[in-house]
Structure 1
Amino acid sequence: MESKYTKRYSDEYKRDAIELVRSSGRTVTDVARELGVSSESLRAWVKKARAPEAAPVTAALSPGADDRDEELKRLRKLTAEQAKTIEILKKATAFFAKESDR
């Protein structure tokens, strides 16, 4: 019989939580508090993912890691292009604002 206090988390949720710990640079406790997860549970998930024998398990939990890396590169490039576009539009707006005041 399962305790009413025991929560079950999906593999996807665990994978995302582990990735958040790895990518954010924050402590496990901070991330656990933000997610509403026990810090002991999150710490165990991270430890299990770091274990050498967990490589196949981690690969199974994160299918398409290469696809995500490519998507991340594409999105970063797109973000840089949009930032340039925004800067150009700001300058154009300032130019036309000056012109309309004349």
Structure 2
Amino acid sequence: MGRQSPYPEEFRKDAVALWRASGGTRRYAAVAAELGITGETLRTWVRKDNAGQQAPGGAGPEGPAEEPARLRAENARLLKAEKEWQLEREILRRAAAYFAREVK
């Protein structure tokens, strides 16, 4: 873990909100100069905020390197669910056959 930021979390969120309020038309450096920070610091905060806003389901901005990993994880989850459903269907099929014999 890196060193702790000297700026409070609320200040960082407000700085990101101020840059976003400009609609992205102003440069990071221009907004950062008003706040007394560097443009790269503000850019880093905006990137971290964008990463934090990603939904677990995959909605939100993604880089090309993140998408394959997300898709592999989703594929693994779906394969596991499919195996569980196959087992449930097999159990239900056997139970239906058992009770059909009982009724006759």
TM-score range, shorter chain: 0.3 to 0.5
Structure with more of its chain in helix, by fraction = 1
Normalising to structure 2: TM-score of the pair? 0.43
Greater relative CO, 1 or 2 (CA 8 Å, sep 6+): 1
Normalising to structure 1: TM-score of the pair? 0.43
Give the number of the structure whose alpha-carbon radius of gyration is greater: 2
